[in-house]
């Protein structure tokens, strides 16, 4: 029986079987075709590679090597810093379980500046990690670890870094570039300076260590190339390049000694305390902060200038291990307000908004509203210039202040005091104003009331005249000048304000286009606290 006869009988008797066989044959043919094609393709590929030329590794070629040379020169002097801090568990219960003990987190609502920029120690911003260990009550303590960088500046093992890298650390360990894996050196703190966020630490050097050379930061200008070296996220010996974006950046107005170099060289958590280097291989800054909303590089970094670092370092390695700065006990507005100059009749200089009681300036006769125009005959144009001059002088020395008072020039000799002793003990926690306000609305958009006895007690304003701001209308003149609820207005345009009647009388005489300057004691400053000017031109 031939194949055709077999197929005819099969389809007639069992058509389902015939269909199955047909599909199976078709699939087999298809697979065979694919396999055959694949084999043919492989065979074709093998035969067609005969004319391919093998690739060769080229000989090394010298590229532009400025960055490479600087990095190799500086890397041995840049160290990795690892700290451990043990924090007692704030949630632990003292007493029997279920007894209702325990408490809430004792958190500070005013988060530190460097927590914002670097995430704080152990929060991940410096490559932080957390572990736990038992405390005396059976609850776990929190052990925080953080990473940062530092720069060797003395072959005996002295290192410059940021204060916030080593602050409150129970243990500080330093890893050198050539240390084998797992080898670190315990470090001790020599001194720290809160106002510049700098610290000096020291390790026992097993040998004379390689050091970095510090340059003059005043020579840097926007557009100059710089390198940042450090341990971002714990990655040691990381080098990034950029330029100087700006100089003299004051990113924290309350800290007068932090005028930063801004750079776009990539700086990330862990770079803190590492060097910013110029094209001569000199350290011209210590990387301190980044401006970011993601806790990572966003193109804006800040380094403390090397000239500031040198002065602070020399004080911290001295016998007292602290920075001594001079002060005459005066305060002024951080930002210049043109209206102040016009109201007080001066074109240049620093107009004093507060004189510290019993301080050097007060004893010498300096008054609120005086404008300091020179120190020992040297012209002073800005508050930064005045602070830099006075702070650099030793306590006990004398200076002659050139002062303009009511349009007349006078010379006032003043003996400089220790800034820390003069301002260190000042109190003044923020308090909310007490009692329901009795509003006196003015055309300036501010509501004020007399200082009651209850306010004096709550706000520490004993024997203080003036009026308390109880409300500020959004978008008003008062709002634009910076007045806030709880501020105490002492003067308006050099006229004393003892109560609401005085305030209303003075304000009623103000006209559109007129300059208005308030002398204000900010909320929380207390009776012995500082005063500032606020002002502008009335619309």
Average pLDDT, the chain: 77
Is residue 126 a part of any domain in this protein? no
* Whether the predicted model's global pTM rises above the 0.75 cut: no
Question: CATH number of the domain that 238 lies in?
Answer: 2.40.10.10
452 shares its domain with 407: no
Identify the residue with better confidence: 424 or 270.
270
pLDDT tens-digit map of 304-320: 999 999 999 999 999 88
Higher pLDDT, 11 or 56: 56
Residue 147 belongs to a domain: no
Question: Which H or E run contains 164?
Answer: helix 163-166
Instruction: Give the pLDDT confidence score for residue 308 in this predicted structure.
Output: 92
Higher pLDDT pick, 196 / 130: 196
The structure tokens 């003069």 sit at 422
What per-residue confidence (pLDDT) applies to 124? Answer: 37
Distances 369 to 78, 227, 464 between C-alpha atoms, Å: 49, 46, 18
pLDDT confidence of residue 413: 95
DSSP track, 475-524:
TSHHHHHT--TT-EEEEETTEE--SHHHHHHHHHT--TT-EEEEEEE-TT
Tell me which residue of 245, 278, 283, 238 sits closest to 262, measured CA to CA: 245
High-pLDDT (> 70) share of the chain, %: 72
Spatial separation of the C-alpha atoms in residues 118 and 184, rounded to whole Å: 24
- Kindly report the CATH number assigned to the domain that includes residue 507: 2.30.42.10
The bridge status of strand 213-214 relative to strand 282-290 is parallel
- pLDDT value at residue 127: 45
> Rounded to whole angstroms, how far apart are CA atoms 534 and 504?
18
Kindly state whether residue 13 falls inside one of the protein's structural domains. no
Task: Pick 4 or 200 by higher pLDDT.
Answer: 200
Q: What is the pLDDT of residue 66?
A: 85
* Distance (Å, whole) CA 120 – CA 123: 6
Q: Give the Cα separation of 430 and 525 in Å (integer).
A: 8
Domain membership of residue 372 (yes or no) is yes
In a domain, 294, yes or no: yes
Q: Evaluate if residue 164 carries a pLDDT over 80.
A: yes
Per residue in 194-243, pLDDT (tens digit) is 888 999 999 998 889 999 999 999 999 999 999 999 988 878 889 999 99
Residues with catalytic function = 164, 197, 272
Residue 299 within any structural domain of the chain: yes
Give kind and range of the element (H or E) at residue 290.
strand 282-290
Integer Cα distance of 200 and 309 in angstroms: 10
Residues 531 and 465 in one domain: yes
How far is the C-alpha of 467 from the C-alpha of 386, rounded, in Å?
31
Distance (Å, whole) CA 86 – CA 254: 30
**Least trusted range by pLDDT, from 82-86, 203-207, 293-297, 433-437:** 433-437
Mean of pLDDT values over 359-380 = 93
Last residue of some domain: 303, 338, 365?
303
Structural domain range at position 287: 223-303
pLDDT in tens, 45-94: 456 888 888 998 888 766 667 898 999 999 999 999 998 876 654 443 33
For residue 99 the two structure tokens come to 């007894």
Of 423, 438, 472, the domain-final residue: 423
Q: Which of 442, 437, 440, 439 is nearest to 452 (CA)?
A: 437
Q: How many domains does the chain have?
A: 3
Judgement on whether residues 459 and 513 belong to the same structural domain of the protein:
yes
Q: Assess if residue 43 is contained within a domain.
A: no
């Amino acid at each position: 029986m031939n194949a055709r006869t077999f197929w005819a009988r099969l389809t007639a008797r069992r058509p389902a079987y015939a269909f199955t066989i047909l599909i199976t044959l078709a699939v087999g043919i298809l697979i065979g075709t694919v396999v055959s094609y694949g084999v043919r393709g492989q065979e074709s590929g093998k035969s067609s590679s005969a004319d391919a030329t093998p690739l060769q590794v080229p000989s090394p070629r010298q590229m532009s090597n400025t960055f490479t040379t600087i990095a190799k020169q500086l890397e041995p002097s840049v160290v990795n810093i690892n700290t451990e801090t043990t924090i007692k568990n704030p949630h632990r219960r003292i007493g029997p379980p279920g007894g209702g003990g325990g408490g809430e987190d004792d958190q500070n609502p005013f988060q530190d500046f460097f927590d914002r920029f670097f995430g704080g120690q152990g929060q991940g911003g410096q490559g932080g990690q957390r572990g736990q260990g038992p405390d005396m009550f059976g609850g776990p303590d929190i052990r925080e670890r953080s990473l940062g960088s530092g720069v060797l500046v003395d072959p005996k093992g002295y290192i410059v870094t940021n204060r916030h890298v080593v602050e409150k650390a129970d243990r500080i360990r330093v890893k050198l570039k050539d240390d084998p894996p797992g080898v670190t050196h315990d470090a001790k703190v020599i001194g720290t300076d809160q106002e510049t966020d700098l610290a000096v630490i020291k390790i026992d050097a097993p040998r004379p260590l390689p050091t970095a050379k510090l340059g003059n930061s005043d020579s840097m200008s926007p557009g100059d190339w710089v390198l940042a070296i450090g341990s971002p996220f714990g990655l040691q010996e990381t080098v990034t390049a950029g330029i100087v974006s700006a100089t003299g950046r004051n990113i924290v107005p309350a800290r007068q000694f932090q005028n930063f170099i801004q750079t776009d060289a990539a700086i990330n958590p862990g770079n803190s305390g590492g060097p910013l280097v110029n094209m001569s291989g000199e350290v011209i800054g210590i990387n301190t902060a980044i401006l970011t909303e993601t806790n990572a590089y966003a193109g804006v970094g800040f380094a403390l200038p090397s000239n500031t670092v040198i002065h602070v370092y020399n004080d911290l390695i001295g016998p007292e291990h602290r920075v001594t700065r001079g002060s005459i006990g005066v305060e002024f507005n951080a930002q210049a307000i043109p209206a102040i100059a016009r109201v007080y009749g001066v074109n240049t200089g620093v107009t004093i908004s507060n004189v510290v009681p019993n301080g050097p300036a007060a004893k010498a006769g300096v008054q609120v509203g005086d404008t300091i125009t020179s120190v020992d005959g040297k012209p002073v144009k800005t508050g930064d210039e005045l602070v830099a001059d006075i702070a650099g002088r030793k306590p006990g020395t004398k200076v002659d202040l050139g002062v303009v008072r009511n349009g007349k020039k006078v010379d006032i000799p003043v003996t400089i005091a220790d800034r820390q002793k003069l301002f260190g003990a000042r109190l003044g926690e923020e308090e909310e104003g007490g009692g329901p306000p009795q509003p006196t609305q003015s055309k300036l958009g501010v509501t004020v009331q007399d200082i009651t006895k209850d306010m004096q007690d709550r706000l520490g304003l004993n024997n203080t005249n003036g009026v308390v701001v109880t409300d500020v209308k959004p978008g008003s003149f008062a709002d634009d000048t910076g007045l806030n609820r709880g501020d105490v207005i002492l003067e308006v345009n050099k006229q004393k304000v003892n109560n609401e009647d005085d305030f209303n009388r003075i304000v009623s005489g103000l006209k559109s286009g007129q300059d208005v300057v308030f002398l204000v004691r900010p909320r929380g400053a207390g009776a012995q606290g500082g005063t500032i000017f606020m002002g502008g031109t009335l619309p």
